[in-house]
Amino acid sequence: MTDKIDAFVAELQEQIFAETREAFGEAGFERWRNPLYRGPLADADAHARVKGECGDTMEIFLKFDNDRVCDAAFRTDGCGSSTVCGSFAAEMALGKTPDEITDITGEAILEKIGRFPEDDQHCAFLAAATVQEALGQYMKKTLQKH
């Protein structure tokens, strides 16, 4: 009996993996299985939290050193797609100056992932909007210091 259930679960998992690989491509699938750059980041210089129209929340944490992002993380209560987008958005912010961060758009995130389900593309735009909001927080702080 247990063997049958184990086999059933294994088959189901294989099926889910195959479908996810098909939907996200190899890079997105790997990130879905192992979402790098998960937050929070305790000592972040900037933190933004944006709620998408779907009701999910995305958070981005940025830490700067010499006006470049030296650490970045994301957190979301959304679906697998938003996890993949948040993870890539945080990765794309790493090493960037504020000016370069403005290039992190929804389109740029989707391009970086390579393949993405049409219906979930708004997750990339939510992740990008959150990165831009975090950048805004950082710029505000920086201007207040001067």
Shortest spacing between CB 65 and ligand FES, in angstroms: 30
As measured in angstroms, the least distance from the Cβ of 54 to ligand FES is 3
Instruction: For residue 1, give the H/E element and its range.
Output: none
Name the one range near ligand FES by CB under 6 A: 2-10, 77-85, 97-105, 135-143: 77-85
Q: How far is the CB of 129 from ligand FES (least distance, A)?
A: 11
Range 87-116, binding ligand FES (CB under 6 A): none
| 48: DSSP letter | E
Phi/psi region, residue 65 (left: phi>0; alpha: psi -120 to 50; beta: rest), is: beta
Using alpha carbons, list the distances in angstroms from residue 133 to 15, 58, 68, 92, 146.
Answer: 38, 11, 16, 15, 21
List the interface residues with ligand FES, window 43-72 (CB under 6 A): 52, 54, 56
Candidate residues 73, 120, 130, 134; the one interacting with ligand FES per rule CB under 6 A: 120
Q: Is residue 82 at the binding interface for ligand FES, with CB under 6 A as the rule?
A: yes
Let me know: does 121 contact 86? Beta carbons within 8 Å: no
